[in-house]
Amino acid sequence: MSSETEKVANQNLQDRIAIDQSVRLPVLFFFTSGAVWLLLACALGFLSALKMRNPGLWDDCFALTYGRLYPAHLNALIYGWAMQAGMGTMIWLMARLSRAQLRAQTTVIVAGHVWNVAVFLGILAIFFTGGTSVVWLDFPSWLWPMMALCYFFITIWVVVLYGSRREKEGYISQHYLIGAAFWFPWIYITANLIIFHFKGSAVMSAGVDTWYVSNLTFFWFTPIALAVAYYIIPKITGRPIYSYSLASFGFWTLAIVAGWMGFQRYIGGPFPAWMPAMGGTACILLLLVVITTGVNHYQTLKGKFNLVTYSPSLRFTVFGTVMFTGLGLMTAMSSYFTFGKYLQFSHAVAGMDILAVYGFFSMTMFGAIYFIVPRITGCEWPSAGMIRFHFWFSAYGIISLVAFQVVAGYFQGYDINQWSKDFMVSVNITKGHIVARAVAWLLILSANLTFAWQLLLMFAGKGRRSQGATLIHSKPGAALTSDEAAAGLAKGGAKA
Amino acid sequence: MKKDCCSKLYLGLAAAFGLPWLLLIVVPYVKLSALEPVSYPEDMKAPDGSTVYPGPRAGEVSLGAKVYAREGCNYCHSQMIRPTYAGADLWRPGWAGPETDRESPKRETRPADYLGETYAFLGYQRIGQDLSNVGYRIADRDSLHQHLYNPRSVSPDSIMPAYKHLYKEVYPDGDVSGDPKIVPTGEAEALVDYLLSLKKDAPLPDKAGAAAGEADEANPQS
């Protein structure tokens, strides 16, 4: 190697370290506080399922009814964990891809703290003064401007980082991140204004809520998770993205299609019929995104699938992308009359929401976190065994949870649609499945206990001091000592 | 150059999202917000005697709706009757109208049925029954209070939580040794008012009838 290229490589490494240092504190803050909320959310998921199965539990406590436990669980999962994990990942990934340093650590950290305070107040309010019953927007309505401001002060830096990028073209992952950063405030402000502040149509408020749920899933969770997948998969396999034009097609298809989704939840609802129909059509068109993304990742990975045995980042990310395919198929299926009329208003709806937030988004975020945290803390994950535990209990937990919810939902919806059957038939038939739901949350909770523990150790600088990354199974030969080893190739990889 | 490329991306993002935002949310919101109660034609009336559709609702319904929201009822109960192409809601006894009346035609819920509410609780899941027309299914206030206070005393298999915190224990004559009397709070009464007011099956002012009515007005000789 000539001294010239060595110098450039060395300079690149120095740059990268400086960038990682600049985002270290905010990113770690989001990940660790997110992980704590995740534990709470899993515990509440377990408790709400338990309460549903044994409705007599805690009968005298007004704060522990299902109608409060369940929204508290959902909102802790979404605003406490998922959005914080997403924002942390956004900042790191954007800084890395733009090769620019974050200049506003303090602002981001302060906004992050305020965000956490807001979530805390929101959860307290759901328990003690009651939520709004608006799905995914259960916090009292005076909290949202605070959260919107925090979001602005955090993600504006994602936009600034993108503005100072060195490659003009921009990577596909950057497009996804910018999309997420840019769309969310628009969606969030529209939804909150219409639902809580404008005195117009009551049915449209409910419609806007289901549109909000769909948009948060497909205009925020999805782009961030796909940005991670388009970064991690080429990076770890050391290959360029199979087809950049396919990736670009997927991105723009998602952008055009996803905003029309949402009303299919209310097929047959009190809306002009074209609105749910449009939603259903968009859900089916979303399959284009699912298929092109799936094919792209598959082709990039082809012949290198054995890497999921070793790399935790790749294993979680690939699991997440597979779940995205599942989510796309199920969303399309449930917006189709034949299944839709049974799945609508059933346990399957809740199952699909959890599939989106945990199976797809969170699992992909774990992939990102296993990749990012060693780079910003300078130490490696303490225990491969714990990563294995985290993966298998999470994967097993979420798959069984979703499977039980969907099967229970189908039975439930089928029985409700047999109009001559007593309604209680549909209640009794799902009781066993609710037990499974409780057990699944316990599995996921235990998985995330190990995750949070490892993350705290890393945060405290108590990780392994090692040259090589922590691999799930040690690899024969020395081919992949570190994810970074593939970096040279992957740098070209994530690009056009 | 760099700026060009950048603003093109943002323009694309804004256009892709702006179109559904405008056409699916803003325009329908403005249009549906313009809905107002309509008078029935002269020869028509709602079963409760109201001359407008939807008719006024009695009691503390807006406080009741707040309690309904606060307790998270919306997570397990829908308030939306689907037409036949989307499910069998219309046939299920008591869901689309009075349970005793199996003969007269039933209809799905329409946007105007929710006029006067601040938020339409269309629902998330149907863990419990649909409540669009629950007002017909409740025999009297006391039985509903009984159901809210202890659901399993009314329906043994029910998985509905008890809402004991909406009730007070009162000892008659200050005798603490005896059995307390369970008395509903104002919030429980409001919730019951709200639930009793849920009757979303009022006959629609017939379009042909309304048109005929207008014609009559225009030309009283005819």
| Nearest-10 crossing angle of helices A222-237, A312-334 | 140
**Which residue of chain A has the CA closest to B111?**
A270
Element of type H or E holding A11: helix A3-53
- Rounded distance between C-alpha atoms, residue A94 and residue A100, angstroms: 8
Three-state secondary-structure class, residue B167: strand
Interface test with A, best of B107, B119, B148 (most A CBs within 10 A): B119
User: Which among A186, A260, A349 has CB closest to B124?
Assistant: A349
Reported ipTM: 0.90
Interface test with A, best of B62, B89, B122, B155 (most A CBs within 10 A): B122
Cβ atoms of residues B86 and A340 within 8 Å:
yes
CA distance A425 to chain B (A): 10
A460 at the B interface (CB within 8 A)? no
> Interior CA angle at B137 toward B133 and B140, to 5°?
125
Check residue A463 and give its pLDDT. Answer: 86
Check residue B6 and give its pLDDT. Answer: 66
B201, B205, B200: which is closest to B44 by C-alpha?
A: B205
Average pLDDT over residues A190-218: 96
Cβ atoms of residues A131 and B72 within 8 Å:
yes
Residues B29, B31, B35, B41: what is their CA dihedral angle, to the nearest 10 degrees?
-150
Check residue B211 and give its pLDDT. Answer: 39
Task: Write out pLDDT tens, residues A279-336.
Answer: 999 999 999 999 999 999 999 999 888 898 899 999 999 999 999 999 999 999 998 8
Check residue A350 and give its pLDDT. Answer: 94
**Which residue of chain B has the CA closest to A129?**
B70
> What does the DSSP 8-state code read for residue B26?
I
CA distance A131 to chain B (A): 5
Task: Write out pLDDT tens, residues B11-56.
Answer: 999 999 999 999 999 999 999 999 999 999 888 888 888 889 888 8
What's chain A's average pLDDT? 92
Check residue B3 and give its pLDDT. Answer: 52
Contacts with B16 from chain A: Cβ below 8 Å: 252, 255-256, 259
Contacts with B153 from chain A: Cβ below 8 Å: none
Contact A206 B16 (CB under 8 A): no
- Please provide residue B35's backbone torsions phi and psi, each rounded to the nearest 5 degrees: -60, 140
Cβ atoms of residues B163 and B30 within 8 Å:
no
> Is the per-residue pLDDT at A470 higher than 90?
no
B57's CB contacts (< 8 A; 6+ apart) are B116, B197
B121, B10, B24, B29: which is closest to A215 by C-alpha?
A: B24
A418 at the B interface (CB within 8 A)? yes
CA distance A164 to chain B (A): 10
Three-state secondary-structure class, residue A96: helix
Task: Write out pLDDT tens, residues A424-461.
Answer: 999 999 999 999 999 999 999 999 999 999 999 999 98
Interface test with B, best of A263, A334, A345 (most B CBs within 10 A): A345
Q: How are the residues of chain A apportioned to helix, strand and coil, as percentages rounded to the nearest 5?
A: 80, 0, 20
Contacts with A263 from chain B: Cβ below 8 Å: 24
Contact B155 A424 (CB under 8 A): yes
CA distance B219 to chain A (A): 34
With tokens 């937030």, the residue in question is A357
- Rounded distance between C-alpha atoms, residue B63 and residue B59, angstroms: 9
Phi-psi region of B77 (alpha: psi -120 to 50; beta: other; left: phi over 0): beta
Name the least confident of A72-81, A149-158, A294-303, A479-488: A479-488
Interface test with B, best of A137, A168, A201 (most B CBs within 10 A): A201
Contact A431 B159 (CB under 8 A): yes
Cβ atoms of residues A91 and A105 within 8 Å:
no
User: Which among A51, A205, A272 has CB closest to B120?
Assistant: A205
CA distance B86 to chain A (A): 5
**How many CA atoms lie less than 13 Å away from A355 in the CB half-sphere?**
26
User: Which among A200, A259, A347 has CB closest to B20?
Assistant: A259
For A398, the token pair is 């979420």
> What does the DSSP 8-state code read for residue B81?
P
Average pLDDT over residues A471-485: 56
Average pLDDT over residues A114-136: 96
Residues with pLDDT less than 50, chain B = 1-2, 208-222
Cβ atoms of residues A389 and A381 within 8 Å:
no
- Rounded distance between C-alpha atoms, residue B11 and residue A245, angstroms: 20
Check residue A461 and give its pLDDT. Answer: 87
User: Which among A60, A131, A206 has CB closest to B120?
Assistant: A206
With tokens 């994602």, the residue in question is A158
> Is the per-residue pLDDT at A480 higher than 80?
no
> What does the DSSP 8-state code read for residue A380?
B
- Rounded distance between C-alpha atoms, residue A350 and residue A340, angstroms: 14
Check residue B177 and give its pLDDT. Answer: 78
- In A315-344, the residues whose Cβ lies within 8 Å of chain B are 337, 340-341, 344
Average pLDDT over residues A352-365: 97
CA distance B221 to chain A (A): 38
